[in-house]
Structures are given as C-alpha cells and as structure tokens.
Structure 1
Amino acid sequence: MNVKKHIPNSVTLGNMYCGFLSIGFTVSNSYKGATWLIIIGIILDALDGRLARLLNVKSDLGTQLDSLADIVTFGIAPALLFSYTNSIGGGWLDISLAGLFVLCGGYRLARFNSAQSEETSFFTGVPITAAGGILAITTLFHTHLPPMANLLIIALLSYAMVSTIRIPSLKNITLPNHKTMATILIGIVLLLFDRRSIVALYLTAIYFMYVAYRIMLMRANRNG
C-alpha cells in the first residue's frame, strides 16, 4: 500500500474534524475555542495542498474530501458561529444571512471544481477558506462593532465568494521565512488577548494592516 498518498487525505480529514469540533464549541457557547478550531483548519487546509503537490499524489478522492472539509469548516462552522454571536430581529435575520453564506460558499466550491481551466495564479471570487476565516475572526470583535456592521460583513463576504473578482493565489508562494513566521506568531499572541480590551482591538487592526503591507511588498518584489 502506498502510504504517502494517504497523508494529504488524513490532513484533510483533520481539517474537517476541526470544523465539526468548532460547531460543537459554538453550540456550547465556547466561541473563542470555536474560532481557534477554524483557524487550525485554515492551517491544515494549506498544509494538505502543499503535501499533495510535494508528494505528487493529487487525486480525485483528495479533491472531493477537500471540498467536503471546506464546506464544513469554512462554511457551516463560521456561519453557525456568526448566528450564535449576533442577534437582530429575534435572530431570524442572522440565521438567514448565515444560511446565505453557506449557500454562496457551496456555489463557490462547485464553480471552482467544475472550472478545469481556471488559472493557477488567480482565483475567481474569494475562496471559501478566506471568507470563512475572516468571518470567524470578526466574531471575536462582534461586541465592539455595531450590529449592522456585522451583518454587512457577512453579506459582503457572501457576495465576494460568488463574484468574479480575481484574487491572487498563494499556492505557488514558497514556505514562510523567519520574518513571516514571526509575524504569524505575533498574530497568534494577539488572538490570546482579552477581546474586551480596546488596546487589543487597536493592536490587532495594526497587525492586519502590517500583514497587508507585507503581502503587497512581496508581490512587488516578485514582479520587480
């Protein structure tokens, strides 16, 4: 039996399990833990793709498992987390938008899987992994934002997934260097701060601006 071809699939199943556990944490009102599990899922999602390309063991089974994991961990889990941390109009509006987010994410995955000729350097529409991760992280700040701002965030993310916006792919980027790893660690430390602290909120905003700057700088250096 070729063991190496099952390694990426095992990581993908771990990603799916993180999504299931996140749902369990959400219904138990452990929202921070639910967010962390989605973040771990993002890491595993990036890892399984790299492993498949490194080991040259890409398969149809792996593609199907990846899509199933994505809809659970980055579709259903963050949408449920959003609906539990927001309550407007008796909750009906929140759950409706959460359902719309899952539908748009499912459509985005199906469109990607059926587009055999899609460019490897760009995605059409925001990937569900990014949209789900952003939605999950914003729930950490839901008490600091006006309720309508939270609704606007999930509505925009839903639209971004099914839009035709061209998003640069990170698949061909080499493994992070020590500076990038330090940046990631800083972000993890910030997530450990008490979200009720306005200082932590400002620091996290600055962190995301710095990450955006590093991405733009990296692309400028590559194109130059």
Structure 2
Amino acid sequence: MIMLTPCSGVFQLVKTLLLSEHAGQVQLKEFARKNAANALSMANMIMGLSSIMCSLNGYHYSACWLVLIGYLLDLADGAVARQLNACSALGAKLDDFADFTTFGIATALLLKTSSFLDSALCICYILAVFIRLCFFSSGIPFMYRGLPCIYSSAILACTSLLTGANIIILRVAALAMILFMVDKGFYPHDRVLESQAWKKMVYVGGVLMVLCSSFPPACVYYLVWSVSYILFPSALWSSKV
C-alpha cells in the first residue's frame, strides 16, 4: 500500500489548483476571443441609446457625436470578428440591432422638430434603414445593395453639426440619404481595417479627430470620408482596389 505523506498531499492540492487556474484562464481567453466583436456591437448600441437620450433631452451636439463614435465602432466590429475567427449568427443579429438603434432611430431623432412633417420624415428615415438592413444581401460577394446606413448617418450628423442643425438643409440631406439607401445600387464592402494601409490610416485619423480635434475639422473629415464612399465607391473603397 502506498502511503501519501502530508507534503505529497499539499503538492497534489497545489497542482490541482494550478491546473484549475490554467483551465480558467484558457476559458476566459476563449470567451474574450468569441465575444470581442460582440462587445464592440454592444458599445455601438450603447452609443445609439445614449444619443437617443441626448436628443430627447435637448443635447443635440452630444447626440451627433455619439452617432459618429458609433460609426467607428461599427467599422471595427466586423473586422475584429473576422480577424479572431469569431463570426456567428448571434454576432450578425447583434450588429443589425446596434445599427438600427444608432444609424436608424438615433440618427432620425436628429431631424425631429415639433413639425408633423419632420416627424413623418423621421419615420420614413427609420423605415429606410429598416428596409436597408432587411435586404442587406446583394447576392454578390463583397457587395452591398443600397447605401449602407452608417454613411448616411455620418453625413446627417456632420451636416447637423456644421449647419447648427439647420432644418431645411437637414431635410434635403435626409431625403437624399433615404433615396440612396432604398435604391438598388451596389456598393463595395467597406473593409477599411482589412484593406490597404491608407484606408487604415483614414480610420486612425477618424479616431484621432474624435479624441483630439475641435468639431469643425472633425465634421469635415467625416463628411468627406462618407461622401467619397457615395461618389467613388468602386474607385476608392472597393476591397479589390
């Protein structure tokens, strides 16, 4: 019969604890890998919800900036999911919910006034985003059908900031964005963080603009970025360029 000494018993206990700790660390890393992109989508949704609350309480400036932060988060979540090989059906649904919240409801509230016509415009904008997200698939690899709502949202947020929320200009811009979103035009998949170095620098510039710049240069930067996607989709933003 083999007798276990007190020292061997302590050794076995320490070994068990170390193995258990290692297994826990492995599980934690795997959980983080699988949910890193989902965390970015959740952060995007939180930006959208916060923007909605700001709009409802009259903090228009903050509402616009929160939408632009959501713009950056949305461009990052897909890239992170693919880089970590963590794409999932849950992640895709969460991304759509976040997009609808930030680039649909939150952006539409930037247009709202006490006018019935503006309220109707808000509803039409939300419906356009809903249609755009529902009919996301174009059937062609690396292509979207209809303008991605992230760009129309950025254009409206920047226009609102640069014009002091001039409702006439916002109405015209919103109508144009609705038409772009519901049409059947094709736009390239904007894998900004998975493409050429200059596109990554554009993204980094966007982050720095949010963190360091006063609002006029930052708004012009995001406006040019988004408009260039509409005007030169294949020439500049195609993943094959």
Q: TM-score, normalised by structure 1?
A: 0.77
SS of 1:118's partner is: coil
Partner residue in 2 for 1:152: 172
Alignment RMSD, CA only?
3.4
1:27 counterpart = 2:56: yes
* C-alpha contact 1:187 1:204 (8 A) present in aligned 2: no
Partner residue in 1 for 2:224: 208
1-side partners of 2:105 and 2:130: how far apart? 10
2-side partners of 1:125 and 1:215: how far apart? 12
Q: Structure 1 pair 17/119, CA: closer, same or farther in 2 (3 Å)?
A: same
SS of 1:167's partner is: strand
Larger CA deviation: 175-184 vs 135-144: 175-184
Q: Which of 68, 88, 108 in structure 2 is aligned with 1:79?
A: 108
Q: Which of 130, 139, 149 in structure 2 is aligned with 1:106?
A: 130
2-side partners of 1:127 and 1:214: how far apart? 14
Partner residue in 1 for 2:23: none
Partner residue in 1 for 2:7: none
2-side partners of 1:179 and 1:47: how far apart? 13
Q: Structure 1 pair 111/185, CA: closer, same or farther in 2 (3 Å)?
A: closer
Larger CA deviation: 49-58 vs 24-33: 24-33
2-side partners of 1:17 and 1:8: how far apart? 14
Within a 5 Å distance, the mapping from 1:57-206 to structure 2 comes to 57-83=86-112, 87=113, 90-112=114-136, 115=137, 118-143=139-164, 145=166, 147-171=167-191, 173-174=194-195, 176-177=197-198, 180=202, 183-184=205-206, 188=210, 192-193=214-215, 204=220
Identity of aligned residues (%): 27
Q: Who wins on radius of gyration, i.e. which is larger?
A: 2
TM-fit CA distance, 1:218? 4.6
Larger CA deviation: 179-188 vs 153-162: 179-188
Q: Structure 1 pair 100/53, CA: closer, same or farther in 2 (3 Å)?
A: same
TM-fit CA distance, 1:143? 3.7
TM-fit CA distance, 1:10? 1.1
* C-alpha contact 1:122 1:168 (8 A) present in aligned 2: yes
1-side partners of 2:142 and 2:42: how far apart? 26
2-side partners of 1:103 and 1:218: how far apart? 29
Q: Structure 1 pair 143/166, CA: closer, same or farther in 2 (3 Å)?
A: same
Return structure 1 stretches of 4+ with deviation > 4 angstroms: 175-179, 185-191, 213-220
Unpaired segments ≥5 residues, structure 1: none
Q: Structure 1 pair 103/191, CA: closer, same or farther in 2 (3 Å)?
A: farther
* C-alpha contact 2:55 2:63 (8 A) present in aligned 1: yes
1:123 is matched by which residue type in structure 2?
Y
1-side partners of 2:70 and 2:177: how far apart? 19
1:127 is matched by which residue type in structure 2?
P
Q: TM-score, normalised by structure 2?
A: 0.72
Number of aligned residue pairs: 207
